[in-house]
Structure 1
Amino acid sequence: MHDVSAAEDALSEAFAAALSDWPVNGCPDNPEAWLMTVARRKGIDGVRRRRSGDAAAQQLRAMLDQHATWADAADDAAIPDRRLALLFACAHPAIDTNIRAPLMLQTVLGLDAKTIASAFLASPDAMSKRLGRAKQKIREAGIPFVIPDLDELTERLDGVLDAVYTTFAQGWSDPNDADLLRRDLADEALFLARLLAELLPQEPEALGLLAGMLYAEARRRARRDAQGDYVPLAEQDISLWDASMIDDAEALLRRASTFGRIGRYQLEAALQSAHVERRRSGRTDWTPEVQLYDALLTLTGSPVVALNRALAIAEVDGPRAALHIVEALSIDKRLAEYQPYWAARAALFARVGNLGEAHHAYEIAVGLTGDPALRRFLQSQQAALLNGGGAMHA
């Protein structure tokens, strides 16, 4: 199957049908098979309605029939979940590396171009064009949209990890679970990450990804107070953390370290572990976090990592040292609409007493915030400037 757009449309309609049907009639025993069956019907009907491609209908039917046949032989399948299998299918080596994860997020996991663009610090228009070009290349080059064999998974793993990580981050962004669709994204990502760790137990980055997600998920209940207001990490009630989940994350991270192949997701998880340890022990020295951020920045070159590193440096060398880094990052246009950048900038300016710059940065951060609870928190920090109390948290 080469027509990703046709498959995407059919699967999207199937998910929409599920949202209408399942709350009324209950979730089917085999939800994946239900989705594939509905998608096959929707796809064929849609192509007929458009009257623009018997070939596309045949391609869609072939892909979905392939998955239906493959599902019947699930015991023998290399990948025990169809969604995960489709992620690996989208990670074909002939597809450009930088578009694989966005393609998976849109085609398999159903995120829209605007959400994907935000996750990758790109404009929605640019991301839409990139996705369109990728699908056109798949069609024109005849790149096979098929499930890879088990021995092909390792070379495709990085893109799949990126997609699962981004999906979790999107679900994690609504801390009070008010947005059920976003909460489902986090659950879906955790499910897929567990499958990856079980499927590829010798891949330390798969273990590191799951560990990092478990560290974050363990703190979910502590991110809001009884009134539903946002609580920053430094003020969270650690008794609300899920200790068992943290233990599982620690075990996964230790196992990953035994392979001697350090990567991005292990470093991300190690940072989560350091934050947990610091809060539990009362340690005030942030040197371990800075060292981990140094390694992660060297590995990724990410402006988001550079921003978080600056906040850690503020705790070691003071806010002025951090502000030099944050000011230098201002030339990176990808951060212009990145809310955490402006929140961090505001908090640092407040700490050095530059209340005018702090107020301005808070204005921008508030305007870029979609979560009402986080918006109230930032507004309270901004109001504290006028009351002479300063602001202490990004």
Structure 2
Amino acid sequence: MKGSTKARAEEVARASYGRLLAILASHDHDIAAAEDALAEAFAKALEHWPLRGIPNNPEGWLITAARRGRIDAARKHARTKPLEQHADYMARSDQHDEIPDERLSLMLVCAHPALSSAIHAPLMLQCVLGLSSERIALAFQTRPSTMAQRLVRAKSKIRDAGITFERPDRDALPDRISTVLEATYAAYSIDWMLFPDGRDLSREALFLADLVAHLSPETPEALGLSALISFLSARQDARLKDGMLVPLDEQNIGLWDHRMIDHANRILANASVARQLGRFQLEASIQAVHAARATTGTTDWEAVAQLYTGLNALFPTLGSRIGQAAAIAQARCAKDGLALLDQLPTRQVANFQPYWATRAQLLRDDAPQQAKPCYDKAIALCTEPPLRRWLEAQAATLKLH
């Protein structure tokens, strides 16, 4: 019983942490205090559930326990707020047949413009998913103590400024949703090859993206991000072989998660209904073309190149311009791809590893002598061991004579 109870408590925590925290913190904007109360409630669940059985509504049980814990804490510490102010707050704890889902409101609070953009993604990972500051610090390449301090300061600012757990006005909502999406993508984009728990973090970010899409289905870009991360996650098991990176066009499609690909295609189709094209929808469309190789056996590189052209016309980045060059090289010839790379600002690409890796690949067949220093530069700039091994293998097979 104890083992199953613990597993059930962990399941509830995984699925409902953000919902419960948002409800608890919405009363007085004190996320830190709500976290403490929720932690105590989970501890009480592990104490009581094995003896009395798992309640029919575990979320309701937890929210009631946490709210009562906060009332007890207020009495014990004689806070300045009159206890009468908690009357409605406590009364609501017994009406818990339907637990409202306030996670989107919590994410909007975490991505509030009054907070530093650098803390948006870490704050969401902790508040919505319950990740520890140590784990978040590892992913963001920051000391645990530093990350913990930043998170504490952000929560204090939310409390002291009285930032409300409400959706902003219609005019302001798109910008706030965009910030949530950017922070979610930033969490996913943390390179899983660098960190022991990187793949777990990718799965958490996928959960966040799906959650935002579920809570905001009227936002095409929310659906686009969910589709994008789903396409990328579907190929997770095919990205490495014997500790070496496997390029996308060489991956074993038998290792792809085809159900997730179907899921991503459906979400992307739903996003397109609104006819409001955005960055994440375009990026998801590129990944959809790559995913189609699972059924066609080939990659439509011309379609990939055209999508990159559209992406760079609307939302240009250095990475997307390099992606366009690589796609055009595949669709047409290496010379055309190199011509695009030559148009990029020298200063911006000087220490940009993807530029040198792509340039090396486009030069390897026709100009191996020129490709060699590009490989050397890409290897020197590379921080991911699996990618470095692949680059070293590519460099070793150059026909220099």
> Aligned to 2:336, which of 305, 312, 321?
321
Task: Measure, in 1, the Cα distance between the counterparts of 2:231 and 2:221.
Answer: 15
Q: RMSD over aligned Cα, in angstroms?
A: 5.0
Task: Measure, in 1, the Cα distance between the counterparts of 2:308 and 2:292.
Answer: 16
Please name the residue that 1:374 is paired with: 387
Render the CA deviation track for 1:9-46: whole Å, top value 9, x for unaligned.
Answer: 979xx7xx99xx9xxx9xx99799989x99xx9xxx9x
- Tell me whether 351-360 or 229-238 shows the greater mean CA deviation: 351-360
User: Contact 2:234 / 2:261 at 8 angstroms: preserved in 1?
Assistant: yes
1:349 has 2:363 as partner = yes
Query: 1:159 deviation in Å?
Result: 1.1
User: Contact 2:167 / 2:173 at 8 angstroms: preserved in 1?
Assistant: yes
Task: Measure, in 1, the Cα distance between the counterparts of 2:179 and 2:60.
Answer: 22
Render the CA deviation track for 1:119-166: whole Å, top value 9, x for unaligned.
Answer: xxxxxxxx99x99998898688x2615354797855521111112222
- Tell me whether 181-190 or 347-356 shows the greater mean CA deviation: 347-356
> Aligned to 2:193, which of 138, 159, 174?
174
For residues 240-319 of structure 1, the aligned pairs below 5 Å read 240-278=255-293, 280-283=295-298, 285-319=300-334
Render the CA deviation track for 1:256-292: whole Å, top value 9, x for unaligned.
Answer: 1111111111111100011122464244652211111
Task: Measure, in 1, the Cα distance between the counterparts of 2:188 and 2:225.
Answer: 10
1:236 has 2:251 as partner = yes
Give the fraction of aligned pairs with identical amino acids, expressed as a percent. 36
Please name the residue that 2:108 is paired with: 88
For residues 39-50 of structure 1, the aligned pairs below 5 Å read none
Q: What amino acid is aligned across from residue 341 of structure 1 in structure 2?
A: Y
User: Contact 2:104 / 2:215 at 8 angstroms: preserved in 1?
Assistant: no
Render the CA deviation track for 1:183-222: whole Å, top value 9, x for unaligned.
Answer: 2212212222222222222221121111112211221222
> Aligned to 2:185, which of 147, 150, 165?
165
User: Contact 2:139 / 2:198 at 8 angstroms: preserved in 1?
Assistant: no
Please name the residue that 1:185 is paired with: 201
Q: What TM-score, normalized to structure 1?
A: 0.66
Task: Measure, in 2, the Cα distance between the counterparts of 1:132 and 1:324.
Answer: 49
Aligned residue for 1:75, secondary structure, equals: coil
Give the length in aligned residue pairs: 346
1:75 has 2:91 as partner = no
Please name the residue that 2:240 is paired with: 224
Aligned residue for 1:332, secondary structure, equals: helix
User: Contact 1:94 / 1:143 at 8 angstroms: preserved in 2?
Assistant: no
Which sections of structure 1, spanning at least 5 residues, go unmatched?
46-53, 119-126
User: Contact 1:346 / 1:360 at 8 angstroms: preserved in 2?
Assistant: no
Q: What amino acid is aligned across from residue 181 of structure 2 in structure 1?
A: L
Q: What TM-score, normalized to structure 2?
A: 0.65
Aligned residue for 2:163, secondary structure, equals: coil
Task: Measure, in 2, the Cα distance between the counterparts of 1:317 and 1:174.
Answer: 32
Q: What amino acid is aligned across from residue 376 of structure 1 in structure 2?
A: R
After superposition, the Cα gap between the structure-2 partners of 1:166 and 1:325, relative to the gap in structure 1 and judged at 3 Å, is same
